[in-house]
């Protein structure tokens, strides 16, 4: 049994301080402060002692005071356009998994694919003095660009690539991925190919995927008419509605959906119409979401390295904060065409 006597519970007016934690752990207040800011710089035995003291005392660090002292909080701010599916959440989980042991925690905002909302979130998040800022895509308002450049912290644009990033970009060529998938469908003998893409406004991923689709058709001397391209929010129901609209007006032998969520909606709607897949209609998606391989038939799609994007984003931040910057500013993590039964 421990020789330590149980401590009396403090009243609301008696707040536990960092000095209390230091005495309880048998270390200096400076060491405790370093533990909260840079835990990897503290020896493991000392970390364990501090962690035990924190638990015994129910101590919560004063982040506001820490921010004032260092002009930075242990926060990395990240803004994603959508949280309704697992595509972005897998990337976020990987970022959090790598940053948390370094004492960094995510502050997450949801822009709803609005550049103006993203700008408002950036203004708000910068007031918390984050150590770094992560944005999704490479379309930002001039005001957002000015804000993040003035913040003097690492800024990572993820999921897209550009030759002129604000700071650093980590992602894949959505254009090349869509180009390759469309070439694949054409190589399978399909000539009447429909396209169901995401809404284009403030979404460079959707814009680049549609450009890749049209480029592959032009390369094969096939028309890319406006009627072939339908835009919809990334929802199962929207995919079904889009394919019904296309098939009610035109004959198609293949459809390329720029998201697996849309593609699954297309597949379910086609089965309701009594179509045999892929005999009557070949279907391809984009993302390689978990549900893709479980569909019947399984969905041909493009694998996006969601976890690898998160890992590289986190590593870029840690390298910059620890003065290990390699100078590389564009990280192309590629993609993979996954051939399954639907096309």
Kindly list the domain boundaries of the chain, sorted by start residue: 18-61, 72-172+306-334, 174-303
| Rounded average pLDDT over 325-336 | 96
pTM given for the model:
0.81
- Prior bond of 297 cis (ω within 30°): yes
| Rounded average pLDDT over 332-339 | 98
pLDDT band at 229 (very low <50, low <70, confident <90, very high): very high
Pairing relationship of beta strands 132-136 and 301-303 according to DSSP bridges:
unpaired
- Whether residue 102 has pLDDT greater than 80: yes
- Whether residue 196 has pLDDT greater than 70: yes
Q: Domain spanning 18-61 has what CATH number?
A: 1.10.260.40
- Residue 217: predicted pLDDT: 98
pLDDT band at 2 (very low <50, low <70, confident <90, very high): very low
Q: Domain spanning 72-172+306-334 has what CATH number?
A: 3.40.50.2300
202/222 Cα distance (integer angstroms): 28
Residues in the chain: 343
- Whether residue 8 has pLDDT greater than 50: no
- Residue 12: predicted pLDDT: 42
Nearest partner of 109 among 72, 145, 127, 82, judged by Cα: 82
| Chain centroid offset of residue 133 CA | 13
- Residue 62: predicted pLDDT: 63
> Which residue matches tokens 């995927």?
209
Token pair for residue 287? 């993302």
Q: What is the DSSP string of 188-244?
A: TT--SEEEEE---TT-HHHHHHHHHHHHHHHHTT----GGGEEE--S-HHHHHHHHH
Token pair for residue 186? 């054409």
pLDDT in tens, 19-71: 888 999 999 988 887 887 777 778 889 988 988 988 888 787 665 555 545 55
Nearest partner of 33 among 63, 57, 75, 13, judged by Cα: 63
62/71 Cα distance (integer angstroms): 14
Task: Provide long-range contacts, Cβ within 8 A and 24+ apart, for 222-227.
Answer: 222/186, 222/191, 222/193
- Residue 63: predicted pLDDT: 59
Q: How far is CA 211 from CA 174, 179, 183, 191, 206, in A?
A: 9, 8, 13, 18, 9
Would you say the CATH fold of 72-172+306-334 matches that of 18-61? no
Q: What is the mean pLDDT of the chain?
A: 91
- Residue 40: predicted pLDDT: 73
pLDDT in tens, 165-178: 999 999 999 999 99
pLDDT in tens, 139-153: 999 999 999 999 999
| Rounded average pLDDT over 67-81 | 77
- Whether residue 279 has pLDDT greater than 50: yes
Classified by CATH at the fold level, domain 174-303 comes out as Rossmann fold (3.40.50)
Percent of the chain with pLDDT over 90: 76
| Chain centroid offset of residue 175 CA | 18
């Amino acid at each position: 049994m421990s020789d330590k006597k149980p401590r009396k519970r403090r009243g609301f007016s008696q707040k536990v301080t960092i000095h209390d934690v230091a005495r309880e752990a048998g270390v200096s207040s400076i060491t405790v402060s370093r533990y909260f800011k840079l835990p990897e710089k503290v020896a493991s035995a000392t970390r364990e002692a501090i962690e035990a003291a924190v638990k015994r005392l129910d101590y919560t660090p004063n982040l506001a005071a820490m921010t004032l002292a260092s002009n930075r909080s242990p926060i990395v701010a990240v803004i994603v356009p959508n949280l309704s599916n697992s595509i972005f959440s897998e990337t976020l989980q990987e970022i959090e998994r790598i940053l948390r042991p370094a004492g960094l925690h995510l502050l997450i905002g949801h822009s709803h694919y609005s550049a103006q909302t993203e700008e408002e979130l950036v203004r708000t998040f910068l007031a918390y003095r984050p150590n770094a800022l992560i944005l999704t895509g490479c379309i930002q308002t001039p005001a957002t660009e000015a804000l993040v450049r003035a913040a003097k912290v690492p800024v990572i644009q993820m999921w897209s690539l550009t030759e002129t990033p604000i700071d650093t970009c980590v992602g894949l060529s959505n254009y090349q991925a869509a180009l390759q998938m469309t070439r694949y469908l054409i190589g399978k003998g399909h000539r009447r190919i429909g396209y169901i893409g995401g809404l284009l406004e403030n979404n460079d991923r959707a814009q680049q995927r549609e450009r890749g689709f049209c480029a592959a058709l032009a390369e094969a001397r096939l028309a890319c008419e406006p009627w072939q391209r339908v835009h919809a929010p990334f929802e199962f129901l929207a995919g079904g509605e889009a394919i019904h609209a296309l098939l009610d007006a035109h004959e198609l032998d293949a459809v390329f959906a720029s998201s697996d969520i849309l593609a699954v909606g297309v597949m379910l709607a086609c089965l309701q119409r009594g179509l045999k897949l892929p005999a009557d209609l070949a279907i391809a998606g984009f993302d390689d979401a978990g549900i893709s391989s479980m569909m019947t038939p399984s969905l041909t799609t493009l694998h996006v390295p969601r976890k690898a994007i998160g890992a590289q984003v986190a590593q870029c931040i840690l390298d910059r904060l620890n003065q290990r910057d390699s100078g590389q500013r564009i990280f192309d993590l590629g993609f993979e065409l996954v051939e399954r039964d639907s096309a």
